[in-house]
Amino acid sequence: MVTDQVVQTPRVWEDLRQEIVGCDRCVPVLDGSERPYIFLDNAASTPAFRRVLEAVEEFLPWYSGVHRGTGFKSLLATEVFDAAHDAVGRFVGADLSTNTVIFTKNTTECINKLSNRMNFRPGDLVITTMMEHHSNDLPWRKNASVLHVGLTPDGHPDLQLMRKLLEQNLGRVRLVAINGASNITGICSPIHDIATWAHAVGAKVFVDAAQLAPHRPISMLADDDPRHIDFLALSAHKMYAPFGTGALIGPMALFEKGDPDVVGGGVVDVVTLETAVWNRPPHKDEAGSPNVVGGIALAEAVTLLESIGMENIAAHETALLAYAYRRLKAIPGLQFYGPTEDLSDKVGVIAFNVEGVHHALAAAIIGTEGAIGVRNGCFCAHPYVKELLHVSPEDDRILAAEVIAGNKSRMPGLVRASLGCYNNEADIDTLAEMLERIVRKEYKGTYVQDRATGTFRAKGFSPDFEKYFSFVRLAAGRERRHSEAS
């Protein structure tokens, strides 16, 4: 134990814990008892802020479709929904006189949209890095030629190489697409420096802020600032508002040009049988009836995050991360990935493996016996994880062939614990105690791996989900499907 180094938790953070819907809810564990759930999977998705839920409940009696109704509720909903766009734009420091905020489903949809709307020409290059989530890689590959900047030995993108590639491909690079923070190592990119380098060669910069926006203050800066971020995307479900909204922020001028990638209702001003005249942004790029409730939820979340203060959140999470590494590094047999000492450029993501224990087994034990939500695998960043694990190209080919043949049992991977602003030292202590038990082989269950998925399950652990959440109607449908199938 490192009790002398315990981070003092100011009252505000304990109060914030009460702001989390479902915080400390009890879940079943292997021995048949129940324990308060420890949520350390915030990089995947966060629970909701209570204030967000309250805002949704307050709004629902006024709910109506937006933009086309003449009734009072529609007028009110339109006002609120439009204001929600502005709140998100302000949260990331965008100049709203020249930039638009487009609501989507999530960051993935934002990046696909931007890739479709960039109007790439043959030969255009996008520079990205080996550190990216697939969502900030595959959409670019679809429409342009992509160069992946390699890594330094400590898992950072090689920024010297990025600058070299920018200079070597002068005139061809249209965009540098970089994550604000990695979902694997938490490493933050120097986004404003990268913007300066990109702008110097006439390229634009896109920041995938899915992992940055919940943890650090962001300012896209003035459009004429060389450090300005041209485009940015984020996901509400990683920002305590899991109601199905993402946001893409970028220059109005770009979205005014060209055709929207998805067409239909809402995107047009006038339609004849021969032609369609597009609406103005953001409507032009929000086809169909938008997710009004999700937009309001996101706006409420960013308003609360702002009132807590993103600098305060960053300081709190960094202190907690330092505590976590002190605590976890004292456990023998844990291997960490990414920085563990200098945490100045890192958000609260802890990637590790337990020596001699499959990552999927470790994660299953942590969940099944510790009531702790973590995650394992390659986290939608296969190239990055394989680089961190030094998987050789030959092994990579063999493993890929195994997966194609339906066997994921040897897929390489890591375990990931990720922090939110409401986590505390007690959460870390519970994780550490569980890891100590795993290292000492003192876990209780007998775990069996499913070759097809690679996941492990404890024998005899089959929780009665319906006891915790009643799906009466869904279950009835499932039973009907089963009986029809049998």
d(CA 141, CA 161): 20
Cα Rg of the chain (Å, integer): 23
Shortest Å distance, C-beta 111 to ligand PLP: 7
Report residue 4 CA to chain centroid gap.
34
Residue type, 61: P
- SS3 (DSSP) at 277: strand
Q: Which is nearer to ligand PLP, 249 or 434 (CB)?
A: 249
Q: Which is nearer to ligand PLP, 208 or 230 (CB)?
A: 208
Give 182-214 as a DSSP string: -TTT-BBP-HHHHHHHHHHTT-EEEEE-TTTTT
Q: Which is nearer to ligand PLP, 106 or 423 (CB)?
A: 106
Residue 376's H or E segment, with its range, is: strand 375-377
Q: Is 421 a catalytic residue?
A: no
Q: Which is nearer to ligand PLP, 106 or 318 (CB)?
A: 106
Shortest Å distance, C-beta 78 to ligand PLP: 26
Report residue 245 CA to chain centroid gap.
12
Residue type, 482: H
d(CA 103, CA 86): 11
Shortest Å distance, C-beta 387 to ligand PLP: 16
Question: How many of the other CB atoms lie within 10 Å of CB of 110?
Answer: 31
Shortest Å distance, C-beta 140 to ligand PLP: 13
Q: List beta partners, residue 41.
A: 418
Q: Which phi and psi angles does 234 have, rounded to 5°?
A: -150, 165
Site residues for ligand PLP per CB under 6 A: 106-108, 133, 135-136, 179, 183, 208, 210-211, 235
**Annotated catalytic residue, options 23, 110, 188, 380:** 380
Q: Which is nearer to ligand PLP, 117 or 237 (CB)?
A: 237
Closest CA to 423 of 313, 261, 337, 338: 313
Q: Which is nearer to ligand PLP, 179 or 430 (CB)?
A: 179
Shortest Å distance, C-beta 73 to ligand PLP: 30
d(CA 142, CA 255): 19
In Å, what is the CA distance from 211 to each residue of 180, 188, 311? Answer: 7, 9, 15
CA angle, 57 as apex, 51 and 61 as ends, to 5°? 150
Q: Which is nearer to ligand PLP, 232 or 361 (CB)?
A: 232
Shortest Å distance, C-beta 45 to ligand PLP: 8
Shortest Å distance, C-beta 133 to ligand PLP: 3
d(CA 417, CA 110): 26
Do 13 and 422 touch, CB atoms closer than 8 A? yes
Catalytic residue list = 380
